[in-house]
Amino acid sequence: MSDRVVRASAWLVMLAFAVPIGADAARYQQVNATASQITFTYHQMGSRVYGTFSRFEATIDFDSANPAAARAALTIDLDSIDVGNRDANSELKKPGWFNTAVYPQARFVSNRVTALGNNRYQVEGLLTLKGLTREVGAQITLKPDSAIGIFDGNFILKRADFDIGEGEWADFGVVSNEINIRFRVVVPEQ
């Protein structure tokens, strides 16, 4: 997959590992949260909606010489959601959506990384959101650039899998079931 991001997280997911095989070995461990980002898109009543999560913590341990041993974790502060509208942001924090008073965070932890070639990797792991844990996967692309690694990925989150958007919002004709999660994780080479 080209320059896109996680099935993460995220949620999450999220997260990212990738590095060129055959090049000098590189290790990536310290995430630059300021340069990293998590975004998402979905459709509501036929219109595309774009949003972000501004607060999250990510950890990565990725060695290009041994990508199968890579590990990543991502914790997202769900109260940091922003879809560009104050009323919508407040609505998404309510019990029918993320219920942030009870479930303030989403968490992704990787359990398997598979090298796909050409700096692409499949990352599988567990996403916990709204008290439910599901296996998710994302295809990640690593772009090494001047002693930093940029891990891009994306995945489709199905809101029905996590009871997101209940009651009147459960109709997938009003709000799409599929939420496209994208992430970019920037990590200096160690």
The answer to the question of residue 1 being in a domain is: no
Whether residue 15 lies inside any domain: the answer is no
Positions in the chain short of pLDDT 70: 1-24
DSSP symbols for 86-107: HHHHHHHTSTTTT-TTT--EEE
In a domain, 118, yes or no: yes
* All residues at 6 or more sequence positions from 116 whose CB lies less than 8 Å from its CB, including other chains: 122, 139
Its domain, for residue 131, covers: 27-188
Tell me how many domains the chain contains.
1
78 within domain boundaries: yes
177 located within any domain: yes
The answer to whether position 168 is within a domain reads: yes
pLDDT in tens, 20-58: 334 467 899 989 999 999 999 999 998 999 999 999 999
Q: Write out pLDDT tens, residues 2-22.
A: 333 333 333 233 333 333 334
CATH code of residue 72: 2.40.128.110
Residue 12 belongs to some domain of the structure: no
